[in-house]
Amino acid sequence: MRARLEESWTVESWGIDCQHLLYQDLSWKDGKLLLRIYVNVQLLYINLGRKHGNDGLVPSQIVFDVISKLLLSSSNIPKFEAKDIHPSLINYNMQRARSLVAFVLLALSSSFASAFDPSPLQDFCVAIKDPKDGVFVNGKFCRDPILATANDFSFSGLNIPGNTSNKVGSNVTLVNVDKIPGLNTLGISLARIDFAPYGGLNPPHTHPRATEILVVLEGTLYVGFVTSNPNRLITKVLNAGDVFVFPIGLIHFQFNIGQTNAVAISGLSSQNPGVITIANAVFGSNPPINPDVLTKAFQVDKNVVNYLQKQFWVINH
């Protein structure tokens, strides 16, 4: 089937299967225009995505451009056949029908539409004008479900204690989407935290993309977090079997106050929660933060800042 939109533009030129994409008809009833529209948005994404080399994914703007050309570029709106797709029924007057249709289809054109921005899975995403030069960064590309195996959903090793022979006396074994590919898009990950006796510390840090819930398996931990300004400190001593929650983005810590090793398991509400260790970020950044900035921020002598910036800041994971 061939639908003429402009002299040099046809639906076929976009590689769309018209028979399964869109159908609408116009009729009059009680002085009003009755416009019936059938849209299979998922198929539209697949067809346009293949056409543009995006493996079935296509930006919403391209979808909208195609549909708006179908509906708005000529006075004679083209008609297509449709099979097994659900209708949307719109009643409106002739003068405003097309603008309303364009608005509705724009809303339908993204299968990921939501009322708020999705939580980011990276620190930033630099926008580009040409999608062919970019990558899909808010998550990972997906394997064909038919090819998935049990190994994609499993990990072995959390029974093995982490090496705590470092300056902070702790070790974090993180099980995120890089360890279990099946976690992709599921919004969850796991970590084992080992603490050396007599002061093993998981130093103050934040998870910019996740809330953390921690359960103590062995030992005694002093844990806490600091709220946003005015910076209220909330702490508790935990023993084996106790659970504590650290809200997303807040600075928190765990400190072994016992005389034996301590072990805890943390669940995190992101497949890639991220971690910012405060001391490492402030004094161990690369390149270093200007000492004058830190001197004024911490209200200490500049020699103290210079000393701290020269230290080797341990990463315990």
Annotated binding site for Mn(2+): 205, 207, 212, 252
Token output for 105:
């289809």
Binding residue ranges: 202, 205, 207, 212, 252
Token output for 187:
């919004």
What single-letter amino acid sits at 120? Answer: P
Token output for 206:
């934040």
Give the chain's length: 317
Nearest Cα to Cα of residue 37 among 28, 48, 26: 26
- Say whether 145 sits in a helix, a strand or coil: helix
Nearest Cα to Cα of residue 171 among 45, 12, 317: 317
Binding residue ranges for oxalate: 202, 207, 212
| Neighbouring residues of 11: CB distance < 8 A, sequence distance ≥ 6 | 1, 2, 3, 5, 18, 70, 78
Cα torsion 101, 103, 109, 115 to 10°: value is -140
Q: Give the number of other CB atoms < 10 A from CB of residue 308.
A: 17
